[in-house]
Amino acid sequence: MPCSNFLRIVSEQDGREACNFIHAAGPSKVVITSINVDGKLLLIGSHQKEKGQPPEQFRIPIPKIPAYFTGTGDLMTALLLGWSNKYPDNLGKAAELSVSSLQAVLVRTVGDYTRAGHDCQSSSLEIRLIQSQDDIRNPEITYRAEIYN
Catalytic residues: 74
> Using CB atoms within 10 A of its CB, is residue 34 exposed (0-12), middle (13-18) or buried (19+)?
middle
Q: What angle do CA 124, 125, 130 make, to 5 degrees?
A: 150
Q: For residue 97, how far is the Cα from the chain centroid?
A: 10
Give the closest residue to 43 by CA, choosing from 128, 146, 136: 146
